[in-house]
Amino acid sequence: MTDTDDLLRRVALRAAADADDLPAPVDDARLREAEERLGFALHPLLARLYREVADGGFGPDYRLLPLLGTGSGVVGEYVARRAASAGAEHPQWPAGVLPILTWGCGMYAGVDCRSTDGQVLLFEPNPYSGGSWEECWFLDAPGLAGWLETWLAGTGWFEEDAYGRDDVTEPQPWEKAATRLTSGA
């Protein structure tokens, strides 16, 4: 068993324990459909989460969005956010960053499918003061695997008792935000 296999096993156990009505995982056809609509492949670990654990409904706080939900789903949210950014003087949402979870109040967790480790980013619109949206993007975790480990360990900044704890790392400004927001591709 690889470390990734072990992580997926532990995520699946936690997901099943946390949710009474966990959605079924997506099949390969639904995953292909999602990737075709997006125009790029999901990060491999994210794809495995949707294929092997569930179609959303697990994870921290508000839980992962469904991949192709009829309401708010990963693909629909991404397509809408990218469409709103297309041609905008100050694009809000970078290409390749999938909104996987809403924290409420306009905040999202996103996985950068262009990064090798699947960086997890935090979009927090409240600092926006006009102009560039770069100040609203934060690096939550260098990789999706580490972000999931943080959730499993209960040491994320999003935990109810996180404030003031020494084992909690706060998201930091995303260094690539300005470049990625203006690249458009």
- Classify residue 32: in a domain, yes or no: yes
Domains in the chain: how many in total? 1
- Classify residue 143: in a domain, yes or no: yes
What are the distances in angstroms from CA 167 to CA 19, 44, 60, 92, 143? 26, 28, 17, 31, 18
Strand partners of residue 173: 138
Domain that holds residue 143: 3-157+169-183
- Classify residue 179: in a domain, yes or no: yes
- Classify residue 104: in a domain, yes or no: yes
C-alpha 15/C-alpha 9 separation (Å) is 10
Q: What is the CATH number of the domain that holds 78?
A: 3.40.1580.10
φ, ψ for residue 56, nearest 5 deg: 80, -170
- Classify residue 131: in a domain, yes or no: yes
Nearest to 58 by CA among 169, 148, 154: 148
Strand partners of residue 137: 123
Please give the chain's pLDDT, 185 residues, in tens.
679 999 999 999 999 999 889 999 999 999 999 999 999 999 999 999 999 999 999 999 889 999 997 678 999 999 999 999 988 899 999 999 999 999 999 999 999 999 999 999 999 999 888 888 999 999 999 999 999 999 999 988 888 776 777 777 889 999 999 999 988 65
- Classify residue 90: in a domain, yes or no: yes
- Classify residue 162: in a domain, yes or no: no
Q: How far apart are the first and last CA of the chain?
A: 37
pLDDT at 185: 56
pLDDT at 72: 82
- Classify residue 14: in a domain, yes or no: yes
Torsion of CA 166, 138, 36, 55, to 10 degrees: 30
pLDDT at 160: 79
Burial 9-28 (b: 16+ CB within 10 A, else e): eebbebbeeeeeebbebbee
